[in-house]
Structure 1
Amino acid sequence: MGDISDDDDVPTLSAGTLKALQEFYKEQEEKESQLNQTNENGVAKPNEIVFNEDWQLSQFWYDSNTVETLVRGIVKSVEPNGKIALVSCPTLYKRLKEEAVNCEIKLFEYDKRFSVFGNDFHLYDYKSPLDIDKSLSSYFDLVVADPPFLSEECLTKTAITMKYLTKQNVVLCTGAVMAELAQRLLHLKKCEFEPKHQNNLANEFWCFSNFDFDAMLKS
């Protein structure tokens, strides 16, 4: 038997595979560069950052029409200098920062990638619904939430957070199967508007509120 060199055991990549790998690494470098971009205050520039969905975190981004519609309704639901909390719905943050320039907007989110938004970001785990700064109790004019999982536990604990944060008004986006629980926990009614996602979900998705949010969406 002849000698076999070490090189014979090293797998080789086809030209197409190598090109695809190089493009992947280039894309990852560009995303890393985006995350490192900050303004003079050391806070990331929202419009220059692109976040991909992380399905392991049950992330499903809204489509552009849903983002625009919800943001319009949110802005009309608060005063020009209102306080808005986004709970587990980071898709809305960038557009809302553009449209509600005088509002105070806080994002309560488990995904630490969004910490690039500086003081607007609050690390949040629905499993610890009251692990929140006490100064934020009954602080927000409007709380908008989209619990990551369609489970009784997740919605129940998210509802505790919503009640804790809001002065009164809340908007909830979640699966239609959660309608009865949403009404029982937060006294919410279904809105006419139904949110959609970039990647169509198998589950029917609804929007709920404890005030006439549809009127805000139409005005």
Structure 2
Amino acid sequence: MCDSDDEIKLSAETQAILNQFLKEKEESEKGQDVSENWNLSQFWYDESTQKAFGKICKQLLRESKLKEDMSIALLSCPSLFETINAVADNVKIFEYDERFQKYGKNFVHYDYSLGESEDYLKEFAASFDLIILDPPFLSEECLRKSFEIVKRIKKEDSKIILNTGIVQKSLALELGLSESNYKPQHKNNLGNEFGCFANFDLNKYI
């Protein structure tokens, strides 16, 4: 075997080792918890809330004619991703925080402030059957712009769930949502009471 053959063989072996290393690194990063960044107004849901939304999605999947093809969008609620991704095959996480790029093709960089731009996220127009959102700020501006994006990416008969502070109740009702009995909870207790609003009877799934 000539020297060049040795070099080719070594290169192939090195590439295999590198590929294994990168795969293990990716799996390790996926398993690591991402801490809350309060500067981004991030507050993770507690385990009971994550399980509750997993249950909701399971039941909606059972009822849906689409089954595994049911498409789900999570807007600014990354702490729900792993639970929901475990029960559904087609889940996108729309998030400003690029640490969540660890979820690979499931991640979409998202900035609610661009919601009024007609071209923003147009590649996802009329794409999702279920949309869950938790706008990062308790302001009318934030919710309205977030909802412009919801209207852009939803299908005609999409189900929408909004988690937000009760102070946003009147605006949520104006946007066509109804308050459910469910109260999302956070790992670090917030001073703001939260509510859960939807455009369908969410109470039957909780």
Contact 1:88/1:109, CA 8 A, preserved across alignment? yes
Which residue type is aligned with residue 47 of structure 2?
S
Which residue type is aligned with residue 123 of structure 2?
S
Which residue type is aligned with residue 145 of structure 1?
L
Q: What is the CA–CA distance in structure 2 between the aligned matches of 1:87 and 1:126, rounded to whole Å? A: 9
Q: What is the CA–CA distance in structure 1 between the aligned matches of 2:26 and 2:106, rounded to whole Å? A: 9
List gaps (5 residues or longer) in structure 1.
1-36
TM-score (norm 2): 0.80
Q: What is the CA–CA distance in structure 1 between the aligned matches of 2:142 and 2:101, rounded to whole Å? A: 22
**1:132: Cα distance to partner?**
3.9
Three-state SS of the structure 1 residue aligned to 2:171 is helix
Counterpart pick for 2:142 among 146, 154, 166: 154
Which residue type is aligned with residue 148 of structure 1?
P
**1:43: Cα distance to partner?**
5.8
Query: Deviation string for 1:70-91 (max 9, x for gaps)?
Result: 1211232233211000000000
- Residue identity over aligned pairs, in percent, reads 40
Counterpart pick for 1:98 among 66, 83, 86: 86
Contact 2:122/2:152, CA 8 A, preserved across alignment? no
User: Aligned residues, how many?
Assistant: 177
Deviating beyond 3 angstroms after TM superposition, the runs of 4 or more aligned structure 1 residues are 37-40, 42-47, 130-133
Contact 1:47/1:94, CA 8 A, preserved across alignment? no
Contact 2:122/2:153, CA 8 A, preserved across alignment? no
**1:96: Cα distance to partner?**
1.1
Query: Deviation string for 1:19-69 (max 9, x for gaps)?
Result: xxxxxxxxxxxxxxxxxx8648x9656861211000000000001000100
Rg comparison, structure with higher value:
1
Q: What is the CA–CA distance in structure 2 between the aligned matches of 1:46 and 1:108, rounded to whole Å? A: 19
2:167 — aligned with what?
177
1:195 — aligned with what?
184
Three-state SS of the structure 1 residue aligned to 2:44 is coil
**1:141: Cα distance to partner?**
0.5
Contact 1:84/1:105, CA 8 A, preserved across alignment? yes
Q: What is the CA–CA distance in structure 2 between the aligned matches of 1:62 and 1:44, rounded to whole Å? A: 23
Three-state SS of the structure 2 residue aligned to 1:127 is helix
Q: What is the CA–CA distance in structure 1 between the aligned matches of 2:152 and 2:202, rounded to whole Å? A: 20
Q: What is the CA–CA distance in structure 2 between the aligned matches of 1:173 and 1:117, rounded to whole Å? A: 22
1:142 — aligned with what?
130
What is the CA RMSD across the aligned residues, in angstroms?
Answer: 2.0
The structure with the greater share of residues assigned to helix is 2
**1:134: Cα distance to partner?**
2.3
TM-score (norm 1): 0.75
Contact 1:193/1:206, CA 8 A, preserved across alignment? yes
2:198 — aligned with what?
209
Query: Deviation string for 1:152-207 (max 9, x for gaps)?
Result: 0000001111111111210000000101101112x000111110001111111000
Q: What is the CA–CA distance in structure 2 between the aligned matches of 1:38 and 1:114, rounded to whole Å? A: 17
CA shift in 2, pair 1:38/1:166, >3 Å: farther
Three-state SS of the structure 2 residue aligned to 1:199 is coil
Three-state SS of the structure 1 residue aligned to 2:92 is strand
Q: What is the CA–CA distance in structure 1 between the aligned matches of 2:124 and 2:28, rounded to whole Å? A: 25
Q: What is the CA–CA distance in structure 2 between the aligned matches of 1:75 and 1:45, rounded to whole Å? A: 27
Q: What is the CA–CA distance in structure 2 between the aligned matches of 1:74 and 1:38, rounded to whole Å? A: 32
